[in-house]
Amino acid sequence: MLLNPLEKIVANLPYGDGFKFVDQLLELDEDSVIGIYRFRESEYFYKHHFKDQPVTPGVILIECMAQIGLACLGSYLMRENDSKPQFVFTENHINFLNTVLPKTTVIVSAKKEYFRFGKLKVVVRMMDENENKIAEGWMSGIILKD
């Protein structure tokens, strides 16, 4: 089965199924990315995080934003490189405005602020499927080369 370029980027992310928070990329170019992820009721963390009223942990929301906004966009920017680049998340400033419950689909958009000397910084936003803003801010990471 041949994958389109966006599917290939998602398939090549260095995360296992239990920790990959990208279902699909909707848009991707040199300056921005938009991707989605549906938080399933079966996610491992819901059993333990507010077990009677599960809520998605903020650190997982940040990870979802980093996987779409940094890892996917960074992979695209490094596509001419023969190796599979690895990304290290270095810093962020995220404001949370709403919670994410099980069965919520989130839409993450990230716009490149800069990419130089192996460091990528993006302005990122997370919305739910009803266009409610969940979180916004910025994050950055560096690319480790083989």
CATH for 5-144 (3.10.129.10, 3.40.50.300, 3.40.50.1000, 3.40.350.10): 3.10.129.10
Share of the chain above pLDDT 70, in %: 95
pTM for the model stands at 0.93
Q: In the 3-class helix/strand/coil scheme, how is the chain assigned residue by residue?
A: CCCCHHHHHHHCCCCCHHHCCCCEEEEECCCEEEEEEECCCCCHHHHCCCCCCCCCCHHHHHHHHHHHHHHHHHHHHCCCCCCCCEEEEEEEEEEECCCCCCCCEEEEEEEEEEEECCEEEEEEEEEECCCCEEEEEEEEEEEECC
* 87-146: pLDDT as tens digits: 888 999 999 999 999 999 999 999 999 999 889 999 999 999 999 999 999 999 998 765
For the annotated catalytic residues, the residue numbers are 49
pLDDT reading at 1 higher than 80 = no
Domain residue spans of the chain: 5-144
